[in-house]
Structure formats: structure tokens, C-alpha cells
Structure 1
């Protein structure tokens, strides 16, 4: 991601949500309120790349996504496990990989007005910032597979061509 580009508020919200889910996995005393107080300024802006440039977040979207992902982890984990090979478990995934996938799957499940291609593009872009090439390829494969299973708004020719084998790319 070009760190100097102007990001849309929902893109910023997705990025921060992934950071929030990661933080929730890492801290016993995590609260959404304290995380948002730390991460956003009074105008809902943040410095995503520690370069001094501020990017505005959509606070409502951020709270909905972060809270929804954390509250629905069990359901999301069940979907995620179906996309993993039998040698992998959800809890065995690296935390950042898991955070990206959980947020993306939450949107596929609970944000039906957001087109699949937007969800895939956003989380692949986030994964390119946070993971290796192999890692974002894994994110792409898992989200694409689950999108075909969860959503019916995908073009029929893409669903028919989708290989429904279990994704087994190393993260």
C-alpha cells in the first residue's frame, strides 16, 4: 500500500479493526473503548504508518466491525476451519493472519451490502502491508473460498470455476 495515498475512511477502519483484533488476542485487559482512545485522535484520525500522515477512520464502521468480529469469533472460527486443511487449525494460525481472516469473514457473513470484491480487495491489501507474499496469498485463497460458500452475489462463472479444495498454502 502506498503510504502517501489518501485512504477511504472504511479502509482505515478495516486496517484498525485488524489491529484491534490482534490486540484483543494479545492483551487480557483489552477493551474496545481504550483501544479506540489510544488509536484515534479526537477527529477519528490515526497515523497508520507512523509517518506523521493522518488518515480518517469511519468510527461507526470500525466499532461495528471490531465488536462484531470479537463477539462472533466462535461462529467465524467454524467457517474458517472449513477452509483450512486437516493439518491446520484456526488457533494454530499466526495471530495477525487470524485477525485479518476473522475481520474479513465477519464482513462476508454480516455485512451483506458490502460487495465481495470490495471485501477481498481490502483484506488482501491489508495482508500485503502486514504479511509476506506467501501470507497474503493464503489470505486471498481462504477468503475467496469462503466468499464462494457464504455469498450468492458473486458472479456465477466465478463460483463455478472455484476450486473447492481445502486451502493449504503456508501462512
Structure 2
């Protein structure tokens, strides 16, 4: 079992992969940071029981000025961050059903780690509700983010689950 990668190494890895034409490199990076922040926001909402607008406001006022492992969250696409968080919360029943359909029959979504659930929910929302973003980009981004938090096994799990959600949502 390997150790999770540092956030810096994950960001460097994603910088070379993401291809969200017609976005510039700076815009792609801003979306990557927005995805990371969205995962963190959903995690915080679940653990602290805070509402969506409260968490979005907190990130806008305080967190986007923070420095995490040398990465400035201030570079985030705050609008995209808010779209992801609101979208996941609004569509959570359908999103959870889409993810559950891709879990092994003896697994429940509630049994997964809260960060893993947040990763899967964010990725599933993008795959279902943002057809303008290529499926490969969405899957690659969340797999790489998974590597920042977990070992390779969990990253492979995220890859398989989101690939299944993509097939269901996009054909």
C-alpha cells in the first residue's frame, strides 16, 4: 500500500493532463482547485452539519485566501466551486443513486469514507450535469485528487466508479 501523494504533486500531475478546451492553462488550474475545494466543502458540510450557502460563503470569505501545501486556493474558480457544491446538494438523491449503482452489491455509500463520498459525488455531478466537460477530464481530475487523500487502491476505486457513472450518464 502506497502513501497518498502530496497535494503539490497531484496538482503538478493534473497540470499536464487536463484538456478542457477552450480553457487556458490558468483556467484549467482554477477548475482543478475549485474541484478540490468542493470536495473539502462537502466533507465539511457532512461532518459539521452546515448548510450549503453557509459553507460556500465561508470558503468565499476565508478559505480562498488560504494556502494548502503551497497551493493558493485564491486561484480557484469560485463560481465553478459554487456550481459543484450547489449541484451536488441539489441533486444528491439522484447522484447517490448513480454512485450506488456502481458499488459492489454488498457496499453502501454510507459505509465509504466521507472524503471518498465527497469525491464520488462531485465527480458524478460533473459527469451528469456538465456534459461540456470531457468525461476523461472529470475522471482524471477526481482520480488524481483521490491520490492526494488515499492510497492507490482508493484511486482505482474512484476511477472504476466514475467510469461506470459516466457510461450510465453519457452512454
TM-score range, shorter chain: 0.7 to 0.9
Gaps spanning 5+ residues in structure 2: where? 1-5, 16-25
Once the two structures are TM-superposed, the CA of residue 2 in structure 1 deviates from its matched residue by: 6.4
RMSD: 1.8
> In the alignment, what sits opposite 1:57?
76
Q: Where do residues 96-135 of structure 1 align in structure 2 (5 Å cutoff)?
A: 96-135=115-154
Distance of 1:58 and 1:72 partners within structure 2: 21
1:47 partnered with 2:47: no
Distance of 2:97 and 2:7 partners within structure 1: 34
For the pair shown, which has the larger CA radius of gyration, 1 or 2?
1
> In the alignment, what sits opposite 1:148?
167
Give 4+ residue runs of structure 1 displaced > 6 Å after superposition: none
Once the two structures are TM-superposed, the CA of residue 38 in structure 1 deviates from its matched residue by: 2.5
Of Structure 1 and Structure 2, the greater helix share is in 2
1:17 partnered with 2:38: yes
1:82 partnered with 2:106: no
Once the two structures are TM-superposed, the CA of residue 121 in structure 1 deviates from its matched residue by: 0.7
Task: Tell me the matched-pair count.
Answer: 146
Distance of 1:36 and 1:97 partners within structure 2: 23
Partner of 2:101, secondary structure, is helix
Distance of 1:29 and 1:81 partners within structure 2: 24
> In the alignment, what sits opposite 1:27?
48
Partner of 2:133, secondary structure, is coil
> Which structure has more RCO (C-alpha within 8 Å, separation ≥ 6)?
2
> In the alignment, what sits opposite 1:94?
113
Once the two structures are TM-superposed, the CA of residue 3 in structure 1 deviates from its matched residue by: 1.2
Partner of 1:87, secondary structure, is coil
Once the two structures are TM-superposed, the CA of residue 72 in structure 1 deviates from its matched residue by: 1.1
